[in-house]
Amino acid sequence: MRAGSRPGPWRRGPVLAVLALLLGLLMLLHARIPNRIGNLGSLVETFLPWFGLFVPVLLAGALWRRSASAVVALLLPVVVWLNLFGGLLGDKSRPGGDLTVAGQNVDAGNPDPAATARDLAASGADVLALVELSERAKPVYEKGLATAYPYHAVLGTVGLWSKLPLSGTRPVDDGMDYGPLAASKPADVKLASTRALRTTVATRQGPLAVYVAHLGSVRVNPRAGFSADQRDRGAQALGKAVAAEKNGRVVLLGDLNGTLDDRAFGVLTSRLRSAQDVAGDGFGFSWPAQFPVARIDQILVRGVKPVRSWVLPATGSDHLPVAAAVSW
């Protein structure tokens, strides 16, 4: 082929240009992806920020092919990604705060709960929420946190430790049977059925309603797809409880087993704000601890203002602890 017959830069790389446009449309219209088939929409939304990694891959291909059309087409996914997540790239934290809250899924199979308790006590949080407490590890945490936190309440597998008095602790019934999930843990680990509680923390500024929750686990199966039915029903029940909450100041801490981009949490995000989105630095990924790829451990608030939100160093759990400072 003669050099003069080679396609120009606007005609090179049509496949790359189409892929760039499809990537942009996927992120732009993620809410339109149906959940009818294997909860595909929720699966995409769980890892939505990571779709941005395809941009440099496609850009490298476009430069190699010297395709002007592909480079221009890449503007769509870049603009969409920045619109969705650009606000998380900067540090929005500020000094101050009237109360520091923290939470962690401490992992029922944690090999050293005593060390985890010491690490969490050293965080300095005023209120500390723990989920996935096994019957075997519960007394270890109660002993290890007793000095730093004179008040605590544990119901089932969730608990709250506080430097301030607690009152009115009660379970939040999500109507789920989590027996099969408990069976997925090691044979010597026993988990109770209660996985959400509500209590009141007596602060100097007035009563604060605190919810601690551990929603049902999710699974990715080649046949069933993204199995999240129990989690989604739990989110709905938790959202109804928050909607009925009469206290204007609310904090929700826990492992929700999903990111807030997932449409399943619309019932919560319509009433509560994410501390990480308001006052965080980066994405704040919390799971898995070895190489975090998603923030499924959340701190959501209403009626108080997050001023800082951060991820604490790893403990013996497979989740990283998360913390936030809030002000009135």
Q: What is the pLDDT of residues 178-221, one digit of tens each?
A: 444 444 444 444 444 789 999 999 999 999 999 999 999 998 88
pLDDT for the residue 192: 47
Contact yes or no for 321/308 (Cβ under 8 A)? no
Where are the domains positioned within the chain?
3-88, 99-327
Whether the predicted pLDDT of 51 surpasses 50: yes
**What mean pLDDT is predicted for residues 163-171?**
97
Q: pLDDT-derived band of residue 263, with 50, 70 and 90 as boundaries?
A: very high
Structure tokens at 275: 């501390």
Block residue for tokens 């606007």:
10
Measured in Å, how far apart are the chain's first and last C-alpha atoms? Answer: 72
Q: Is the pLDDT of residue 2 over 60?
A: no
Task: Output 175 or 269, whichever has higher pLDDT.
Answer: 269
Compute the mean pLDDT over every residue in the chain, rounded to the nearest whole number: 92
d(CA 266, CA 257): 14
- At 69, which helix (H) or strand (E)? helix 68-73
pTM of the model: 0.90
Give pLDDT, residue 194: 87
CATH architecture of 99-327: 4-Layer Sandwich (3.60)
**Weakest mean pLDDT among 45-54, 223-232, 249-258, 288-297:** 223-232
Q: Which residues, listed in sequence order, are joined to residue 299 by a DSSP beta bridge? A: 253
The whole-number pLDDT of residue 37 equals 87
CA distances from 171 to 130, 156, 159, 239, 269 (A): 15, 9, 11, 14, 21
Question: In this predicted structure, what is the pLDDT of residue 10?
Answer: 87
Sheet holding 206-214, edge to edge: 166-171, 196-203, 206-214, 250-255, 297-302, 273-274
User: CA-CA distance, 106 to 104, in Å (whole number)?
Assistant: 6
Query: What's the mean pLDDT in 293-314?
Result: 98
pLDDT of res. 178: 47
Average pLDDT over residues 249-259: 98
